[in-house]
């Protein structure tokens, strides 16, 4: 009964050795960990933002805004398509109810109109569904409505692109340990360690950075503009400095043809500005547009607000342009970063924000570590006075258990959070429980008059079932917490789950091996437990 095959002994010690080796890098200070031999495992447990300090933002796509822009973009396409030869005459294009619709003046052209509208839609995946439904009604009306599949596909692509844009904006150099991940269908989680004032971060992400150049509509009647009524083909936009201006709907050049943007100073006024460089196609369009409209004003529009509307003094042919506006060096810089990183395909709103300063994080981790150590010591003392020699084994198991938890966490690159520390302390309780169950069972078997070795064996054997069932309930609740919980709940559950598994191992196998080795060596005649 005290037989412990050699392979089992080796396997147990090997597991423990690996666990300790895995745990060491996380326990060393950062500077020492860097010199840790490369052939040994060197992944570390990362600290959650609540311990390390930093900011976390949960950004959510503004679906209403996205739908609106999709609709106006389609309106623009429809308009262009209808004008092409042979031209199809229609009434006004209406954008109500999330649909684009128009009347065809000559009913004979209805089929042609539907056919041409179909070319503006795109297939979605392999399903045969297209991004828009095109339908004819009453012999002269064409209605285009977005399909749910098309909307979902668009959102999916937009969110992937948005994630990359956000990453480029926060970290142009790509060197900091930031996390930018998609969460669910319409959210992006951003975590930046070390930043304890997220205002700049929010500004950087919050800008869609849709840059457009449009000609100012000089025919617009100022009185009508003030009332918000634009002439056909024009729209009214707010100016950043206040007031409104009428601009042509047609886009001269847009920001997606940019290849570079940086902060500069205006050569005449010396004020901060942003200098941009177009790609070849953009440069050509910009050159032609400025040539045709020299002397007229054009509007520089960012996210549907007019930054400024300077006159075109001369054709701009080199593909280099300057955005003037009421900038400071900082805001010009921020705009340059936003422009360079690309426009967000969808507007993002902050729906959750959490910030912890590094000071507070350090304070928490110090208190958490002290509490962990003190409670481990207290529990050890309690076990020693309660179970004597078997308390010593339980204690060794407890310490090994702590290393194993840290080791496994490091192995999976898990993140330790504040609730995780609470989970750690609770696991110490669970680990002790397994040992208590065994030791109490041994006491009981001794009272029943069994011989010592027999009592130990029966104790371990009988207690194992209760330990297994009891721990499995913990596994069930921890798994559910990981699956359904978020943030702190998950951090807590991860540690709990790992701890329950390691405590089962240390209590049932490891201490049993220690006890068996001792008993075989000494053949004890009496047992203090």
Partner 1 sequence: MKLLKLVPDNTNIDFMRWRNVAVVVSTLLTIGAIAITLWRGLNFGIDFVGGQVVRAEFAQPVHIDDLRARVERLGDGEASIQSLGGEKTYQIRLPKPAGPEAAANQVVSQLRQMIVTQYPGAKVNAGDSVSGKVSEELAANGAMAIALAMLGIAVYIWWRFEWQFGVGALLTLAHDVAMTVGFFSITRLQVDLNVVAAILTIIGYSLNDTVVIYDRVRENLRKYRKMSILPLLNLSLNETLARTVVTSMTVLIALAILMAIGPQVVFGLAIAIFLGVFIGTYSSIYISAPVLVWLGVKPDSFLKSNDGEKVVPRDDGAVV
Residues 340-369 that bind partner 1 (CB under 8 A): 349-357, 359-360, 363-364, 367-368
| Contact with partner 1 (CB under 8 A) among 466, 513, 518, 519 | 466
The verdict on 426 binding partner 1 (CB under 8 A) reads: yes
The verdict on 443 binding partner 1 (CB under 8 A) reads: yes
Q: Which stretch binds partner 1 (CB under 8 A): 137-145, 215-223, 281-289, 425-433?
A: 425-433
Q: What is the closest distance, in whole angstroms, from the C-beta atom of residue 235 to partner 1 in the complex?
A: 24
| Contact with partner 1 (CB under 8 A) among 79, 141, 249, 461 | 461
Q: How open is the CA angle 87-91-96, to the nearest 5 degrees? A: 120
- Among positions 375-414, residues that touch partner 1 (CB under 8 A) are 375, 378-379, 382-383, 385-388
- Among positions 10-69, residues that touch partner 1 (CB under 8 A) are 50, 58, 60, 62
Q: Hey, which residues does 350 pair with through a beta bridge?
A: 59
How many residues bind to partner 1 according to rule CB under 8 A?
83
Residue 96 burial by Cβ neighbours in a 10 Å radius (0-12, 13-18, 19+): exposed
| Contact with partner 1 (CB under 8 A) among 484, 517, 520, 524 | 484
| Dist. CA 346–CA 60, nearest whole Å | 10
Site string for partner 1, 150-189 (x = CB under 8 A): ----------------------------------------
Residue 129 burial by Cβ neighbours in a 10 Å radius (0-12, 13-18, 19+): middle
**Which residues have CB under 8 Å from 86's CB, separation 6+?**
112
Q: Which stretch binds partner 1 (CB under 8 A): 77-85, 132-140, 255-263, 424-432?
A: 424-432
In three-state form (DSSP H/G/I as H, E/B as E, the rest C), the secondary structure along 183-230 is ECCCEEEEEEECCCCCHHHHHHHHCCCCEEEEEECCCCCHHHHHHCCC
Nearer to partner 1, 21 or 470 (CB): 470
Q: Which stretch binds partner 1 (CB under 8 A): 113-121, 215-223, 422-430, 517-525?
A: 422-430
Q: What is the closest distance, in whole angstroms, from the C-beta atom of residue 310 to partner 1 in the complex?
A: 32
The verdict on 492 binding partner 1 (CB under 8 A) reads: yes
The verdict on 485 binding partner 1 (CB under 8 A) reads: yes
Nearer to partner 1, 278 or 504 (CB): 504
How many CB atoms are located within 10 Å of the residue 250 CB?
A: 13
Helix, strand, coil percentages in the chain from 3-state DSSP, rounded to 5: 55, 20, 25
* Radius of gyration, alpha carbons of the chain: 34
The verdict on 440 binding partner 1 (CB under 8 A) reads: yes
| Contact with partner 1 (CB under 8 A) among 171, 266, 303, 462 | 462
Write out the two tokens for 201. Answer: 């971060």
Q: Which stretch binds partner 1 (CB under 8 A): 118-126, 134-142, 311-319, 466-474?
A: 466-474
Q: What is the closest distance, in whole angstroms, from the C-beta atom of residue 301 to partner 1 in the complex?
A: 22
Contact 20, 502 (CB under 8 A): no
Q: What is the closest distance, in whole angstroms, from the C-beta atom of residue 228 to partner 1 in the complex?
A: 22
Q: Which of 112, 86, 89 is nearest to 102 (CA)?
A: 89
The verdict on 102 binding partner 1 (CB under 8 A) reads: no
Nearer to partner 1, 55 or 324 (CB): 55
Q: Which of 40, 8, 39, 47 is nearest to 23 (CA)?
A: 40
Contact 184, 171 (CB under 8 A): no
């Amino acid at each position: 009964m005290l037989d412990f095959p050699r392979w089992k002994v080796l396997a147990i010690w090997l597991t423990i050795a690996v666990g300790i080796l895995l745990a060491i890098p996380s326990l060393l200070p950062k500077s020492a960990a860097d010199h840790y031999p490369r052939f040994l495992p060197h992944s570390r447990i990362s600290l959650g933002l609540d311990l390390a300090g930093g900011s976390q933002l949960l950004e959510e796509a503004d679906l209403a805004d996205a739908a609106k822009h999709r609709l106006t973009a389609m309106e623009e396409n429809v308009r262009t398509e209808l004008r092409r030869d042979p031209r199809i005459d229609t009434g006004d294009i209406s954008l109500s109810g999330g649909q684009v619709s128009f009347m065809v003046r000559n009913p004979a052209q209805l089929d042609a109109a539907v056919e041409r509208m179909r070319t503006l839609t795109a297939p979605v995946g392999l399903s045969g569904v297209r991004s828009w439904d095109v339908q004819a009604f009453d012999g002269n009306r064409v209605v285009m409505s977005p399909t749910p599949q098309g909307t979902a596909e668009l959102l999916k692509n937009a969110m992937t692109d948005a994630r990359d844009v956000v990453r480029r904006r926060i970290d142009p150099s790509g060197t900091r340990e930031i996390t930018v991940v998609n969460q669910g269908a319409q959210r992006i989680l951003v975590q930046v360690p070390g930043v304890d004032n997220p205002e700049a971060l929010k500004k950087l992400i919050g800008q869609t950075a849709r840059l457009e150049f449009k000609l100012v509509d000089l025919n617009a009647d100022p009185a009508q503009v003030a009332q918000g009524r634009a002439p056909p083909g024009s729209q009214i936009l707010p100016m950043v400095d206040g007031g409104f201006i009428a601009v042509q709907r047609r886009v001269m050049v847009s920001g997606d043809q940019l290849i570079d943007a940086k902060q500069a100073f205006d050569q005449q006024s010396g004020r901060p500005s942003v200098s941009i460089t177009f790609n070849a196609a953009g440069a050509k369009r910009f050159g032609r547009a400025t040539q045709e409209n020299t002397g007229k004003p054009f509007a520089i529009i960012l996210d549907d607000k007019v930054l400024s509307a300077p006159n075109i003094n001369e054709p701009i042919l080199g593909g280099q342009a300057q955005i003037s506006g009421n900038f400071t060096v900082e805001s010009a810089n921020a705009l340059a970063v936003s422009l360079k990183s690309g426009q967000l395909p969808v507007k993002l709103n902050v729906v959750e924000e959490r910030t912890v300063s590094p000071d507070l994080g350090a304070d928490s981790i110090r208190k958490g570590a002290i509490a962990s150590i003190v409670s481990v010591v207290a529990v050890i003392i309690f076990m020693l006075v309660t179970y004597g020699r078997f308390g010593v084994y339980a204690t060794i198991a407890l310490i090994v258990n702590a290393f194993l938890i840290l080791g496994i966490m490091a192995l999976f690159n898990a993140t330790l959070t504040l609730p995780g520390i609470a989970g750690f302390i609770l696991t110490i309780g669970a680990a002790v429980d397994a040992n208590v169950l065994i030791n109490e069972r041994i006491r009981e078997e001794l009272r029943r008059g069994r011989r010592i070795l027999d009592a130990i064996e029966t104790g371990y054997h009988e207690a194992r079932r209760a330990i297994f069932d009891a721990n499995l309930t913990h596994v069930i609740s921890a798994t559910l917490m990981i699956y359904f919980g978020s943030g702190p709940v998950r951090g807590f559950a991860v540690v709990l789950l790992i701890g329950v598994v390691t405590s089962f191992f240390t209590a049932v196998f490891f201490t049993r091996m220690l006890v068996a080795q001792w008993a075989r060596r000494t053949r004890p005649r009496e047992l203090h437990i």
